[in-house]
């Protein structure tokens, strides 16, 4: 049943995608070529080739998988990644394989229209799927075996959410239950298999201690012989506070204590490509004319260099020279004492630069030198790194990623002076969350929020 549904979704989605691709082709053709296409055969061959290429990429990258638990931002992020790969491959193949001088403007309009239509279609499909599930269709019948806090959390957050389409058919445990869970109990642990023999079940979720190993093996054997999918919540997951994944090396399970999307080569290439393009755009179109103005203001306001260069901690704990516009009078405490509110060292121009975050703009050169990223944990001076690694648990984890001009911690309020250790702890936790949950869409969200905060919101921590 599951395979049949997946096949139908794949066929239907690929058909709709092909239709949208052809539609985008004709919209781009009507927009760019008012009368007729210069070479009908070439452009018609182009759209046919693009359909095959798109289908192959989607199949290879599992774009048409139908997840039971749907997160819209992850779906959009995955589609944006596939669109990015499709654009690079299709443009590259046209350039290297053909000698025909096709219209770059046409290709740009075609990709833009196709990208917008695909994203709108995906969001509409997700909305309809959730609505379909809320009406009781496409449900997955599950049995819960064992009760602990993880099971309670799953019931509250997932299994009772109508958008996900789960139906709890039974719960088996020898433990006492709360009133909320009592309604699902159909018996003690020893009665589980008897219930499974009499009822059609899609999935069984087991959360039992290792002392119940014999029962767990019996349940797995029964499930394997009756086409019931099994999910096991490891016993140690109840006291292990952080997320983890399990890899296999020669069939030996190896637990990874942290998910890091940026360990993927393709994700790193995507992030680096965006960093370079975005930074070059800022340097060429903004920094080129703003730099002389700010430099003159800094020099007229106080003596000293235009730039302030300070060693800070980067990825993997390596130090690098971080660039800023100088916002303080030249002093001997800049490497050991962070700025505070009403700091006497800050100049009048410096106060303006700090308030508007313009003092950080030279760091786009750090980005181009691959020392920083546009988005990532903010880099700290070396002295603070040595201090807080001893005071804040897991503080050094934030250095698994390249530091950024802005970050998740900054847009949720953890910016500026860290008066207390708890302030740095909150910032480090936010940075670690970013590392574990990175997506291209999340980076775009952080950049958009940062721009909004700079221009339209007054940040009391910006000083």
Contact predicate 64/23, CB 8 Å: no
Superfamily of domain 140-240: NAD(P)-binding Rossmann-like Domain (3.40.50.720)
329 conformational bin, left if phi > 0, alpha if psi -120 to 50, beta if neither: beta
CA atoms of 32 and 103, how far apart (whole Å): 9
Q: Which long-range contacts (CB under 8 A, 24 or more apart) does 235-241 make?
A: 235/207, 235/208, 235/209, 235/210, 237/150, 238/148, 238/149, 238/150
For 79, 97, 102, 244, the CA distances from 64, given in Å and listed in that order, are 10, 29, 31, 26
| Residue 162 contacts residue 129 (beta carbons within 8 Å) | no
Angle between helices 2-32 and 40-60 (to 10 degrees): 150
What residues have CB less than 8 Å from 379, skipping those under 6 apart?
Answer: 312, 313, 314, 320, 322, 372, 403
User: Chain-wide mean pLDDT for the chain?
Assistant: 85
* Strands 245-249 and 252-256, bridge-based pairing: antiparallel
The dihedral through the CA atoms of 263, 268, 270, 274 has a sign that is positive
First to last CA, the chain: 60
Distances 5 to 90, 139, 165, 284 between C-alpha atoms, Å: 30, 12, 14, 50
Q: What number of helices (H) and strands (E) belong to the chain?
A: 16, 11
Confidence of residue 111 (pLDDT cuts 50, 70, 90): very high
Give CA–CA dist 132/121, Å, rounded: 16
- Supply the DSSP string of 147-162, one letter for each residue: -SHHHHHHIIIIIT-T
Q: How far apart are CA 86 and CA 55, in angstroms?
A: 10
Backbone angles phi, psi at 462, to 5 degrees: -90, 95
Residue ranges per structural domain of the chain: 2-134, 140-240, 265-456
151-188 tens-digit pLDDT:
888 888 888 888 888 889 999 998 888 888 888 999 99
In whole angstroms, give the CA distance from residue 143 to residue 205.
6
Q: Which residues of 134-148 are buried (b: 16+ CB within 10 A; e: fewer)?
A: eeeeeebbbbbbbbb
- Residues 399/404/408/413 CA torsion (nearest 10 deg): 110
Q: Give the C-alpha separation, 428 to 436, whole Å.
A: 12
Identify which has the larger pLDDT, 99 or 326: 326
* Mean per-residue pLDDT, 326-352: 80
Reported as a single tens digit per residue, the pLDDT across 358-412 is: 999 999 999 999 999 999 999 999 988 999 989 998 899 999 999 999 999 999 9
- Separation of alpha carbons 399 and 200, rounded Å: 49
| pLDDT for res 4 | 42
Answer whether residue 463 shows pLDDT above 70: no
| pLDDT for 35 | 63
What secondary structure letter does DSSP report for 381? Answer: B
- The number of CA neighbours under 13 Å toward the Cβ of 73 is 9
Tokens read off for 118: 């695909």
DSSP strand E in 244-376: where?
A: 245-249, 252-256, 307-313, 319-325, 373-375
Helices (H), 283-338: 288-301
- 334: tokens are 């800049």
- Mean pLDDT over 131-157 rounds to 85
pLDDT of residue 241: 56
Confidence class of residue 1 from pLDDT cuts 50, 70 and 90?
Answer: very low
pLDDT tens figures, 194-238: 999 999 998 999 988 888 889 999 999 998 888 888 988 876 655
- CA-to-CA distance for 158 and 142, rounded, in angstroms? 12
């Amino acid at each position: 049943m599951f395979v049949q549904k997946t096949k139908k979704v794949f066929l239907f989605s690929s058909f709709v995608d092909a239709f949208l691709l052809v539609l985008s082709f004709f919209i781009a053709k009507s927009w760019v070529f008012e009368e007729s296409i210069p070479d009908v055969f070439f452009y018609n061959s182009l759209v046919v080739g693009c359909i095959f290429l798109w289908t192959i990429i989607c199949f290879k990258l599992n774009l048409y998988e139908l997840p039971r638990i749907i997160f819209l931002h992850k779906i959009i992020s995955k589609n944006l990644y596939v669109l990015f790969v499709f654009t690079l491959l299709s443009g590259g193949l046209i350039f290297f394989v053909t000698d025909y001088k096709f219209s770059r403007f046409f290709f740009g309009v075609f990709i833009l229209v196709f990208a917008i239509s695909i994203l709108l279609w995906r969001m509409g499909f997700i909305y309809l799927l959730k609505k379909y599930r809320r009406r009781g269709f496409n449900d997955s019948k599950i049995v819960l075996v064992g009760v602990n806090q993880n099971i309670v959390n799953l019931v509250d957050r997932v299994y009772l959410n109508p958008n996900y389409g789960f139906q709890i058919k039974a719960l088996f445990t020898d433990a006492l239950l709360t009133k909320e869970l009592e309604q699902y109990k159909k018996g003690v642990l020893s009665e589980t298999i008897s219930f499974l023999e009499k009822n059609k079940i899609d999935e069984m979720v087991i959360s039992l201690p290792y002392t119940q190993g014999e029962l767990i093996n019996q349940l797995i054997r029964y499930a394997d012989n009756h086409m019931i999918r099994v999910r096991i919540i490891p016993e140690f997951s109840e006291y292990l506070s952080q997320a983890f994944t399990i890899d296999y090396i020669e069939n030996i399970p190896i637990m990874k204590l942290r998910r890091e999307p940026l360990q993927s080569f393709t994700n790193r290439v995507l992030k680096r490509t965006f960093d370079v393009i975005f930074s070059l755009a800022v340097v060429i179109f903004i920094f080129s004319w703003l730099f002389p103005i700010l430099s003159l203001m800094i020099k007229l306001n106080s003596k000293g260099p235009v730039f302030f260069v300070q060693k800070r901690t980067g990825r993997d704990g390596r130090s690098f020279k971080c660039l800023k516009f100088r916002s303080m009078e030249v002093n001997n405490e800049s490497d050991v004492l962070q700025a505070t509110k009403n700091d006497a060292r800050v100049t009048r121009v410096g106060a303006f630069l700090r308030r508007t975050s313009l003092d950080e703009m030279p760091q786009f050169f750090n980005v181009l030198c691959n020392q920083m990223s546009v988005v990532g944990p903010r880099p700290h001076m070396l002295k603070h790194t040595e201090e807080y690694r001893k005071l804040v648990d897991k503080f050094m984890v934030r250095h698994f990623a390249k530091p950024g001009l802005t970050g998740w911690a900054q847009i949720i309020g953890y910016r500026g002076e860290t008066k207390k250790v708890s302030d740095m702890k909150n910032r480090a936790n936010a940075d670690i969350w970013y590392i574990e949950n990175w997506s291209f869409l999340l980076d775009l969200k952080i950049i958009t929020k940062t721009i909004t905060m700079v221009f339209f919101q007054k940040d009391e921590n910006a000083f």
